[in-house]
Structure 1
Amino acid sequence: MSWNTSTIHTDVVVVGLGAMGASTLYQLAKRGERVLGIDRFVPPHAKGSSHGGTRVTREAVGEGPAYVPLAVRSHEIIADLEKEFGETFLVKSGTLIVGSPMNGATPLHGAQDFLASSIAMAEEFGVEHEILNAEQLRARYPQFRNFRDTDRGYLEPNAGYMLPEALIDAQIKGARALGAEVVTDTVVEKLEQVDGKVVVHTNNATVHAKRAVVAAGGWTRGLLGAPFDRILTVTRQTIHWYDADDFAPFAPEKMPVFIWFVTDRLEDYFTGFPVTDPREGVKMVASRDTPDIDHETIGPKAECWESDDFYNKHVGPNMVGVKPDVVNNATCFYTNTPDNGFIIDAHPEMDKVIVVSACSGHGFKHSLGV
């Protein structure tokens, strides 16, 4: 296949090589498909939704039973990739979800009570877990302060965090080794279906394929138009890394990834990660409902005041040993559906086109299994 020609023919074209696109490319190549992947940048990159150094994962996902098999399969595929590449892609620090059933439900990502749903998913699917009361939480995790007496924790010991950039890179390399073609710095301008074939128009060439998979994240609505331009929204999210008095208590063997509903107000919840590299700092983040935005206008960095505000509201009052000094910050964006679920479906007017975006901010842990 030569990208220097004006027209290219392949079996499957994958548009976008972030979390979903890279995994799709790799799995299709493993199955012997003649596949071409296209990205407007050079993945892995920090211009979309699939970066940030770490991503929380677990098998008993509180979003609901439809997602559990995807997460379980993702973990199986990661184990295979780790053997293939001799690298670690999933750090099993454990994942801890803390909330208080006495203070009302803890809604998140479409689940009306995220903590209760996580526990229910673990029980339904036989996922190893432990339930901790407030006294046990305080004794086991001195990195936290202000656990309420009514708090309980769901701990999944075989969960933890994925390394997103490393996973995307490995899958693209793996796909290439299996014969897949990858073109970067290439913009897909239009996609149409003509006589049962998919025609992908780019700024460099035209691709004719039997099928297409669109995994373009925030670019999906502009590329595909109706109905995606009406139902998808893009929200800006911020990520923050802070210095610490001592990084030892935040090592993966000492502290799990956590999702903490500090009060019964959703705006008070936040997520934190163990420290993979002390030079990077302690990562803290929270998904927030923000106005729909043009993703092209989102800069790569958060504002300094945003990191300071996040520390003052969430990190400082609740974490022991994390300093207010900001080591780094960043932004990413979520592409959201009205019910916070995924889109994994055929295009309503082009049956040869599969759409696997958006993921509403909780897709990475499932992406390898999709």
Structure 2
Amino acid sequence: MTDKADFVVVGLGAMGSATLYQLAKRGVDVIGLDRFAPPHRMGSSHGETRITRQAVGEGGNYAPLVLNSHRIWRELEAETGEKLLNACGVLVMGPGSGQTSHHGKPDFVIRSIEVAKEFGIAHEVIDGAEVGRRFPQFLGLSGTEKAYFEPGGGYVFPERCVSAQLSRAAQLGAQIRTGVEVLSITDDGMVRLETSGGAIEAKQAVITAGSWTAPLLGAPFDSLLTVSRQVLHWYELDDLAAYGPQSPAFIWMHGATDVDYFYGFPPLPGERSIKIATEQYETRTTADTVNREVERSESEEMYRKHLKGRLAGATARVSQAAACLYTTTPDRGFIIDRHPHLDHLFVVSACSGHGFKHSAGIGYAVAERLTGGRNQIDLSGFSVARFE
């Protein structure tokens, strides 16, 4: 027997849970599938916290997505009673002179300021001396650094966000099937999915499979999407005095290249550790073969290269560490577009290391597009065709 639906969403992490929820809100018949039981630690939507910033230095076309995300998370908080967004502020800081790069974009602080001005996002531009006065957790500053501070930014709780959207989607009538692997997809006027739990036919499918997208869809995504392993570290603090109630999340670029930076979060309430990470793109992996264990030497290297002497109270002792996956495109932008050869497949992938903050807004934009809604956001900058 073949199950039927108007829509099927494949993958229920950040993008899939948001899309499923938004489709269910619009009253359509929708099924959500995931090979695991989200929220889980196998993909890119775990690790307790994710930075959110509304003025996105990657480009102004992202701002409508993240602004909608903040609105949606506040609505979900009211509906579910869950705390999803902590607007503790976010600080983006780089050297006062010389080359810098973040996510492949030069002059990232200036780009963030420009987007904030364009979209009327509250912000401050401060130097390193003011950073040191206002936020005593940051050490070793020359005083000449340039920094963008956004009081409405901060961090979201990814596992809670995924759970809240799946819970609301189910309450609104969506079918959620976990532990189900999609084996093949064909499009012959209707989308047919062969899965480990049986066949499903739908009018349209949304593929939000993250690091599994390329193996599932093949060309052209197998040549566009690369997967890299990223590591998150929680370092113990021997002194909490510098971390007040409004300590910001931060991105600190201290050198010229994309790897000369780290980002982090204030300690969570009741915790005596601080989550810190950087990014790497040179070593590639796959979702099925990635090493999910973190060696002690990895945390030691992270501390030595980036953290030592830069954050008050931070020790080299690690309370926990975790690996996650980034899926990136050649230009490190998103893909939010119809499949170029299969008309009834819509692909949402390649978060490229900065996706979670946009996810609720992306779910909204995709649902509006697929159901013919009136409040459609321009997604042309996220097309597959730009890589041709």
What TM-score does the superposition give when structure 2 sets the normalisation length? 0.91
Partner of 1:204: 197
**Which of 153, 157, 161 matches 1:159?**
153
* Two-structure CA RMSD over aligned residues (Å): 1.2
Q: Distance in 2 between matches of 1:87 and 1:294?
A: 33
Partner of 1:35: 30
Q: Distance in 2 between matches of 1:248 and 1:13?
A: 50
Question: Are residues 1:294 and 2:260 paired?
Answer: no
| Contact 2:129-2:142 at 8 Å conserved across structures | no
| Contact 1:64-1:111 at 8 Å conserved across structures | no
Any idea what SS the aligned residue of 2:227 has? strand
Partner amino acid, structure 2, of 1:324: A
| Contact 2:89-2:151 at 8 Å conserved across structures | yes
Task: Please state how far the C-alpha of 1:52 moved relative to its aligned partner.
Answer: 0.7
Partner of 1:335: 327
Q: Distance in 2 between matches of 1:339 and 1:167?
A: 27
Partner of 1:3: none
CA deviation profile, 1:215-259 (whole Å, cap 9, x unmatched): 0011110110001111110011000001101335335x2410010
Partner of 1:281: 273
Partner of 1:172: 166
Partner amino acid, structure 1, of 2:29: R
Partner amino acid, structure 1, of 2:285: I
Partner of 1:98: 93
Q: Distance in 1 between matches of 2:76 and 2:139?
A: 38
Q: Distance in 2 between matches of 1:82 and 1:218?
A: 29
| Contact 1:280-1:327 at 8 Å conserved across structures | no
Question: Are residues 1:369 and 2:369 paired?
Answer: no
**How does 1:205-224 map onto structure 2 within 5 Å?**
205-224=198-217
Partner of 1:57: 52
| Contact 1:110-1:339 at 8 Å conserved across structures | yes
| Contact 2:102-2:257 at 8 Å conserved across structures | no
Q: Which runs of 5+ in 1 are unaligned?
A: 1-5
Q: Which runs of 5+ in 2 are unaligned?
A: 363-388
**Which of 260, 264, 276 matches 2:256?**
264
Task: Please state how far the C-alpha of 1:312 moved relative to its aligned partner.
Answer: 1.4
Q: Percent identity?
A: 46
Task: Please state how far the C-alpha of 1:87 moved relative to its aligned partner.
Answer: 1.8
Q: Distance in 1 between matches of 2:193 and 2:357?
A: 29
Q: Distance in 1 between matches of 2:28 and 2:261?
A: 43
Partner of 2:370: none
Partner of 1:109: 103
Partner of 1:360: 352
Q: 1:136 to 1:156 in 2, by over 3 A?
A: same
**How does 1:109-188 map onto structure 2 within 5 Å?**
109-188=103-182
Q: Distance in 2 between matches of 1:68 and 1:325?
A: 37
What TM-score does the superposition give when structure 1 sets the normalisation length? 0.95
| Contact 2:129-2:144 at 8 Å conserved across structures | no
Q: Distance in 2 between matches of 1:206 and 1:250?
A: 53
Partner of 1:47: 42
Any idea what SS the aligned residue of 2:268 has? coil
Q: Distance in 2 between matches of 1:254 and 1:125?
A: 24
Task: Please state how far the C-alpha of 1:331 moved relative to its aligned partner.
Answer: 0.4
Q: Distance in 2 between matches of 1:352 and 1:37?
A: 16
CA deviation profile, 1:96-121 (whole Å, cap 9, x unmatched): 001124122x2222322211100110
Q: Distance in 2 between matches of 1:250 and 1:350?
A: 51
**How does 1:4-43 map onto structure 2 within 5 Å?**
6-43=1-38
| Contact 1:94-1:157 at 8 Å conserved across structures | yes
CA deviation profile, 1:131-181 (whole Å, cap 9, x unmatched): 111221111111111112320210000110000000000000000000000
Q: Distance in 1 between matches of 2:168 and 2:283?
A: 38
CA deviation profile, 1:279-306 (whole Å, cap 9, x unmatched): 4721001122222212212233321100
| Contact 1:186-1:202 at 8 Å conserved across structures | yes
Q: Distance in 2 between matches of 1:248 and 1:102?
A: 31
Partner amino acid, structure 2, of 1:203: S
